[in-house]
Amino acid sequence: MQDFKIIRYSKEYSSIWNDFVSKSKNATFLFYRDFMEYHNDRFEDYSLLVFKKDKLIAVLPANISEDKVLYSHQGLSYGGFILPEDIKFEIVLFAFAEILKHLHRKGIDVIELKITPSIYTTLPCDEIKYLMFILNARLIRRDILSVINLKEKFKISRNREEGINRGKKHNLIIKEENTFNLFWNYILIKNLKEKHGTSPVHSLNEITLLKKRFPNNIRQFNVYHNDEIVAGTTIFESKYVAHSQYISGNHHKNVLGSLDFLHHHLISEVFNNKVYFDFGTSNENNGLHINKGLQFWKEGFGARSLTQDFYEVETKNYKLLENIMI
């Protein structure tokens, strides 16, 4: 449609992008440019802005690979098409069709979308999931998140209660810290390497930088026993959700009950004003398997499952969107 204009993001659009994100119905602080650009050395940004009659109506945080696949940004936990609160379905339909047509003309044949889980949206926001159906998109991955609805009654299991009581018995102390050095260097890096052969997604320097940029959204809670750090979690806090981005404890965590003690404190006292507490996924192998023990632990706090979908769309299929409205 002639009313629409697709522009690839550049720094001159930084202010208008951030202003749009601040007012959208399905964005969190992860979509501000100061967050997205902390790992520019790892991803080639190919974010798009959609204008209708010179008014910004949608953005797509994205990066592109060497083989010309566009991803709704691989450096973010969730993403997709970011929309304003007042947008109507028909405009979303036309706007997304224009993006696909634009990418097709640029020689980009495939786009992979990761959908933002519904708990992070301020209003219903399933327009794109419907369009995935119309576009014959392929569901390439589905994760489950373990989430507590803090506004409803939830039951903590006997196992978790026992862990909480062990924490009390051992006089564990919980402190919110402004630095990440102890947790990263003495707990997190060691555990991820030994158990999974991996490293944290964020380096110590990166998480420190992001904390400086988003001091109210990124928070670190450590657990101490006899003045020694024994466990911790890094929380990403958005409007409705407190999300444990990293959870880890030393080899005494079961004896001390450190992670049970910590998360009970966070759920019942620190973030009890939120709507949801998100433990994140327990999936492995691209969503095909679930870490049974980790899932059991999260569900012991009353968490239940919410899905996050990942789709592959062929841009040539934009023509399938032309005759939806009758």
110-143 pLDDT per residue, tens: 999 999 999 999 999 999 999 999 999 999 999 9
Res 196: pLDDT: 80
Task: List CB contacts of 224: < 8 A, sequence separation 6 or more.
Answer: 172, 173, 174, 175, 230
Asked whether 114 and 313 are in contact (CB, 8 A), the reply is no
Q: Contact at 8 Å (CB) between 6 and 50? A: yes
Domains annotated on the chain, with CATH: 4-142+309-321 (3.40.630.30), 152-274 (3.40.630.30)
Classify residue 79 by its DSSP letter.
B
Q: How far apart are CA 282 and CA 318, in angstroms?
A: 34
- Exposed (0-12), middle (13-18) or buried (19+): which is 171, by Cβ within 10 Å? exposed
Work out the burial of residue 178: count CB atoms within 10 Å of its CB; fewer than 13 is exposed, 13-18 middle, 19 or more buried: exposed
Six-digit token pair at 5? 């204009």
Q: Residue 2 has what pLDDT?
A: 66
First-last CA distance in the chain: 17
Q: Which of 46, 95, 36 is closest to 69 using CA atoms?
A: 46
Q: What is the pLDDT along the chain (326 residues), one digit of tens a residue?
A: 569 999 999 999 999 999 999 999 999 999 999 999 998 888 999 999 999 999 999 999 999 999 999 999 999 999 999 999 999 999 999 999 999 999 999 999 999 999 999 999 999 999 999 999 999 999 999 999 999 999 999 999 999 999 999 999 999 999 999 999 999 999 999 999 988 888 999 999 999 999 999 999 999 999 999 999 999 999 999 999 999 999 999 999 999 999 999 999 999 999 999 999 999 999 999 999 999 999 999 999 999 999 999 999 999 999 999 999 99
* Residue-wise pLDDT tens digits, 189-221: 999 998 888 899 999 999 999 999 999 999 999
| Residue that the structure tokens 């030393």 belong to | 250
Q: Do residues 282 and 275 lie in contact, with contact meaning Cβ atoms separated by under 8 Å?
A: no
**pLDDT value of position 171:** 98
Tokens of 288: 């095909």
